C-alpha cells in the first residue's frame, strides 16, 4: 500500500524533498510504521521501484517468430514503463548520491531475480528460449502443443 | 530504449523499435547462430 504511493508521489516531487513524513501522510499511516519496515528512505525508494516493476509486468507475447516477439515485447515495454522513466529520472540521482550504490547495483537490487529468487527469468528469456528450441518457424509446425 | 525513454518521457516510436530489432538485435542473433 505504502509502496504504491511512492512512485506517483516522487514523479511530482523531487526526491530531495521526499521525506518519510510526507510519504506517511500520503499513505495515511505513521512515520514509525514506515521506519519499522524501511529503516532508511533509500530502502523505501528501492522497494517502491521493485514494487512498480512487479505490478507492471512487461507482456512477453508469442507471435511465432523471434523478430515478432521482440518487436511486440519492446513495444509493450515502451508503453508500460514510460511513465516509470520519469519517476526514475527524478529519484535516481538522489538515490545514488545518498545510498552510495551504482546504477548497476540499483538495477540488480530491483531486478525480478532479486525480488523473487534465482528461478525468475527476465522478460526476454522465454522468447529467446522458444527461438533456440525450434529450428523452423513455429507457425508451420502443426505438432506444436502450446 | 532506456536512453530514449529517459530523454523524452514518451513511448518509443514504432519505427525506432523496428530499427532496434532489425538493425541491432537480429544481426547479433544471426551472428551468434
User: For A69-112, how does the pLDDT look when each residue is reduced to its tens digit (9 = 90+)?
Assistant: 999 999 988 888 877 776 777 666 667 777 777 777 777 776 65
User: What Rg do the C-alpha atoms of chain B give, in angstroms?
Assistant: 12
Confidence label for A140 from pLDDT (cuts 50, 70 and 90): very low
Which has the higher per-residue pLDDT, B19 or A90? B19
User: Which pLDDT score is estimated for B28?
Assistant: 94
Q: How wide is the angle at C-alpha A2 spanned by C-alphas A33 and A108, nearest 5°? A: 105
Which has the higher per-residue pLDDT, A109 or A146? A109
Mutation target to probe the B interface, by most B beta carbons within 10 A, among A11, A66, A78, A103 is A78
* A66-95 residues touching B, CB cutoff 8 A: 66-67, 70-71, 74-75, 77-79, 81-82, 85-86, 88-89
For the ranges A3-7, A34-38, A104-108, B10-14, the lowest mean pLDDT is seen at A3-7
Chain A touched by B25 (CB under 8 Å): yes
Q: What is the 3-state secondary structure (H, E, C) of A16-59?
A: HHCCHHHHHHHHCCCHHHHHHHCCCHHHHHHHHHHHHHHHCCCC
Query: Does residue B27 have a pLDDT over 80?
Result: yes
Cβ-Cβ contacts under 8 Å, B14 against chain A: 75
Whole-angstrom CA distances from B29 to A2, A17, A128, A137, A138 are 42, 45, 10, 15, 18
User: Which pLDDT score is estimated for A4?
Assistant: 56
Q: Which of B6, B10, B21 shows the shortest C-beta gap to A70?
A: B21
Whole-number mean pLDDT of chain A? 71
C-alpha cell at A22: 510526507
Q: Do B6 and A88 touch (CB under 8 A)?
A: yes
Q: Which residue, chain included where needed, has cell 530504449?
A: B1
In chain A, the percentage of residues whose pLDDT exceeds 70 is 58
| pTM: predicted TM-score of the whole model, two decimal places | 0.55
Amino acid at each position: 500500500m505504502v509502496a504504491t504511493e511512492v512512485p506517483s508521489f516522487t514523479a511530482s516531487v523531487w526526491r530531495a524533498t521526499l521525506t518519510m513524513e510526507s510519504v506517511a501522510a500520503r499513505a495515511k499511516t505513521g512515520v514509525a510504521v514506515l521506519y519499522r519496515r524501511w529503516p532508511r528512505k533509500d530502502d523505501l525508494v528501492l522497494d517502491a521501484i521493485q514494487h512498480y516493476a512487479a505490478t507492471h509486468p512487461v507482456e512477453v507475447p508469442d507471435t511465432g517468430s523471434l523478430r515478432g516477439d521482440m518487436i511486440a515485447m519492446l513495444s509493450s515495454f515502451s508503453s508500460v514503463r514510460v511513465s516509470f522513466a520519469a519517476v526514475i529520472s527524478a529519484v535516481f540521482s538522489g538515490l545514488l548520491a545518498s545510498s552510495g550504490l551504482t546504477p548497476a547495483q540499483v538495477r540488480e537490487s530491483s531486478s525480478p531475480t532479486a525480488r523473487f529468487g534465482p528461478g525468475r527469468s527476465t522478460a526476454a528469456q522465454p522468447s529467446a528460449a522458444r527461438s533456440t528450441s525450434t529450428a523452423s518457424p513455429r507457425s508451420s509446425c502443426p505438432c506444436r502443443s502450446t | 530504449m532506456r536512453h530514449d525513454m529517459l530523454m523524452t518521457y514518451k513511448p518509443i516510436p514504432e519505427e525506432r523499435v523496428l530499427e532496434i530489432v532489425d538493425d541491432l538485435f537480429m544481426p547479433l542473433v544471426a551472428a551468434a547462430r
